[in-house]
Structure 1
Amino acid sequence: MLNWKKQVWLLWCCQLISIAAMEMSEPFWPLFLRQLRPETVNITVWSAIIYGAPLLVSGLVAPYWGKLGDRYGHKKMVLRASLGLAITQGLLFFCTELWEVLALRLLQGALAGIITAVLCFANSITPTEKRSAVIGKLTSATAAGAILGPVIGGVLIQWLSFSALFATASMACLLIALVLAAGLKQPPLSASGEQKKKHRPDSVPSLNTQLIGLGLLVIFLLQTAKALPSSFFALYAESYLEITPFMTGLLFSSAGIGMMLSAPLWGSYFDKLQQASKPLVLAFITAIAGLCYFLHLQTDWLLLLLVRLVWGLCLGAMLPMIQALMITFAEESRQGLLIGRAQRNIKIGNLAGVSSGALLLVWWDYQTGFTVAAAVYLLAASVLMMVWSLLNRSYEPVPAER
């Protein structure tokens, strides 16, 4: 019998290391590109392209990988993502031209997608009543990796070199792929679900389609709001608060710490909630996140630290739990595809948020940026209220296959 708890812990550890390996280089692309071509004047533009290109490609292919996982097994997708990271990080070791870096980053976006693959596999082995807790746990691994990665990357760059960074990341991902190949046990693939469709009222699929559509919209709005201030937060902290880069990093990472600590707790809490109550609770949490943005304009860094910690606690619930809720609206045999579509909206929302934040700062000020981000959160809360209304009206959950 498959021990799903041990499998989830293995996925948690490997996801933490994979995300840390991937995030080692993320804050340092401008430095690496300047090292490759010191005479290039538009390093900022190149950095933005090399940062955003894999996000766009990954978002476009995520539903495709999810659908393949539904058909052929999600273990293959986890191994593909791990090996994709290992290969692309290793090839970056040999890069001497900007276009080579861009090509490999595009390839990384197409082949990797470790978060989607791990989430799909975990969802396929976890009992229905425990899925929110598992998604929360995996979210904590992602947050922890995003915090640890830049720290490890900074140490490697300062004491060794960028080559050491890429070699370390590649070897870590290769080791993870080997461990997962030996340790993961592929469960039986889901049935097509045709028999279930024959016994389900005709109104249920169309209602579930509406709920999924609204859920995907919420995911896009939540990620847009989250990413919107990231393009100007460092400038805001430097000019508005007049603090050191170390303190700016502390403020920025405090949200990740809150997310890492809260996500597993939110998951356990949402597993105990009635299905019809979940959108209402998420709407309330999202409204609090919007309030946190209104409170960002502080001159006291300690107060801002607390605000961002509370915001991080909200982050631990919003995206993970709306994904967990959406999964219940889909048939077992199509849940990988749905997770891939959700990840696509996260990637696109991230790009929309970063670019919108940069444009807002060109034409207006920091206060406008935080206000717009808060308004996007409130819009997401309004859509969640629509989901709650539909869910309480006539929702019938898709029966589990096991």
Structure 2
Amino acid sequence: MEKWKVNLISVWFGCFFTGLAISQILPFLPLYVEQLGVSSHQALSMWSGLTFSITFLVSAIVSPVWGNLADRKGRKLMLLRASLGMAIAILLQAFVTSVWQLFLLRGLMGLTSGYIPNAMALVASQVPRERSGWALSTLSTAQISGVIVGPLMGGFMADAFGLRVVFLITASLLLVSFLVTLLLIKEGVRPAAAKGERLSAKALFASLAHRRLIFSLFITSLVIQLGNGSVGPILALFIKDMSQDSGNIAFISGLIAAVPGVSALLSAPRLGKLGDRIGTARVLVATLACTVVLFFAMSFVTSPLQLGVLRFLLGFADGAMLPAVQTMLLKNVSEQVVGRIFGYNQSFMYLGNVVGPLTGAGVSAIAGYRWVFLVTAFVVLINLWQFSAALRRRNPD
């Protein structure tokens, strides 16, 4: 079997365990914060938000640094650093005795992040260009699968064994990612770059042939994550508002939160292959347009069933958008800087993970739940316009 295919299979499992590990902790962070002695509603909300956001904020800052180091020292080294570093950070979180310790370790977890973008960059640097869309879309199904399974596993383990045990098992899964990477992934010899060839960030972007398009793709990554995250803080409350008599709001909310992942899992490799055939830009424009329509329609639903159906349809678009962005980045930059470009793109994704929930919470507090969907649709529409304008200046396919 060709080396790039072996690496694709290996990093798929690495990304799956990474997505699984991260997602099975997040739903229970507020409960863990409460268990650490934070009791008042205001303090619990504040510390839950801080412990959630600090990881993504730190990750957004350091991602370009790790991307630069990956281009110079090799991506396998970065995969080993990320998987082992996160395993240690999460293991330590099982033994904290105060919320301050948890906050600092969540920041350390962000500092050690970067497994998935470096896995993407590794595959992107080895796969034949004509199959890049399919390969990156297939790899994206690993994280999606992990995000679907993670909360279910985490919930079961938390109920059965306690919250601290979830951190121990999560650290073990990340150690599996480390071993898969160490034993199975082959990167090959990377030519050492001369010191003068290492461009500063300013020189790097000045050297790009299509700077406007690259920056437009960064913004698109931010908006995709913003759209995914804006609904999170209000989803259960919105469902409860529509189902006053239902006694299983938590189960319904979890189900509706998970259904986009199922459809994304189905659509990602198929739409990636379609993009290789008809043009990745066309697939990205079409899925952004569908996202606008679906978020707009969600603002008018009157039952959880209607919301669930629309979110299931949204998942088909979700499965294509981020892989399409990454494929277009790959096709428009040189192999020597692809790791740094993927690192910058990951920073914008992390910023979207921070801005999205803040936007959803703020809009719902000011105008109500339904306006969250309308505002999200408007933001995606603006992004569709700016991306289309960038495309008109340069057809990347």
Superposed displacement of residue 40, structure 1:
5.0
Aligned residue in 1 for 2:354: 351
CA distance change for structure 1 residues 191 and 280 in 2, over 3 Å: closer, same or farther? farther
Residue 208 (structure 1) shift: 1.3
* 1:224 corresponds to 2:226: yes
Query: How far apart in 1 are the matches of 2:22 and 2:224?
Result: 23
- How far 1:83 sits from its partner (Å)? 0.2
The aligned residue for residue 366 of structure 2 is: 363
Q: Which runs of 5+ in 1 are unaligned?
A: 196-203, 398-402
The Cα of 1:385 is off from its aligned counterpart by: 1.2
Distance in 2 (alpha carbons) for counterparts of 1:222 and 1:16: 20
After TM superposition, give the deviation of residue 192 of structure 1 in Å: 5.7
Aligned twin of 1:400: none
Deviation at 1:188, TM superposition (A): 3.1
Partner of 2:238: 236
SS at match of 1:249: helix
Q: How far is 1:99 from its partner?
A: 0.7
Distance in structure 2 (CA, Å) of the matches to 1:83 and 1:268: 33
Deviations 1:77-134 (A, max 9, x none): 0000100111011111211111110111000000122211211222222121222112
Task: Tell me how far apart the structure 1 counterparts of residues 153 and 229 of structure 2 sit (CA, whole Å).
Answer: 23
Deviations 1:305-341 (A, max 9, x none): 2211110100011122012102211111000000011
CA distance in 2, matches of 1:158, 1:254: 23
Q: How does 1:229-308 map to 2 (within 5 A)?
A: 229-242=231-244, 243=246, 244-274=249-279, 278-296=280-298, 297-308=300-311
Give me the whole-angstrom Cα distance separating, in 1, the residues matched to 2:50 and 2:324. Answer: 31
Change (3 A) 1:284 1:176: closer
| CA gap 1:188/1:124 in 2 versus in 1, 3 angstroms | farther
Deviation at 1:384, TM superposition (A): 2.2
Q: TM-score, normalised by structure 2?
A: 0.91
Letter in 1 for 2:357: V
- Answer with 45-54 or 234-243: which moved more: 234-243
- Aligned twin of 1:14: 14
Alignment of 1:28-67 (within 5 A): 28-41=28-41, 42-67=43-68
The aligned counterpart of 2:26 is: 26
The aligned amino acid for 1:232 is I
Asked if the contact 2:242/2:303 (under 8 Å) is kept, the reply is: no
1:201 is matched with none
Work out the CA distance in 2 between the residues paired with 1:166 and 1:332. Answer: 37
What's the % identity of the aligned pairs?
28
Specify the code of the residue in structure 1 equivalent to 2:132.
Answer: R
Match of 1:130 in 2: 131
Provide, for residues 250-285 of structure 1, a one-character-per-residue CA deviation record: whole Å limited to 9, x for no partner.
1111111111221111111111224xxx32432222
More deviation, 204-213/214-223: 204-213
Segments of 5+ residues of structure 2 without an aligned counterpart are 198-205
Aligned length: 383
- For 1:381, give the aligned amino acid: L
Moved over 3 A (4+): 38-41, 190-195, 204-207
Match of 2:157 in 1: 156
Please report the TM-score for the alignment, with normalisation by the length of structure 1.
Answer: 0.90
Matched residue, 1:384: 387
Greater alpha carbon shift after TM alignment, 265-274 vs 19-28: 265-274
Deviation at 1:141, TM superposition (A): 0.8
Asked if 2 retains the 8 angstrom alpha-carbon contact of 1:218 and 1:384, the reply is yes
Select the residue among 339, 344, 348 that pairs with 1:341.
344
Separation (CA, whole Å) in 2 of partners of 1:379 and 1:189: 41
State whether residues 51 and 106 of structure 2, in contact with CA within 8 Å, keep that contact through their aligned partners in structure 1.
yes
Which residue of structure 1 aligns with residue 214 of structure 2? 212
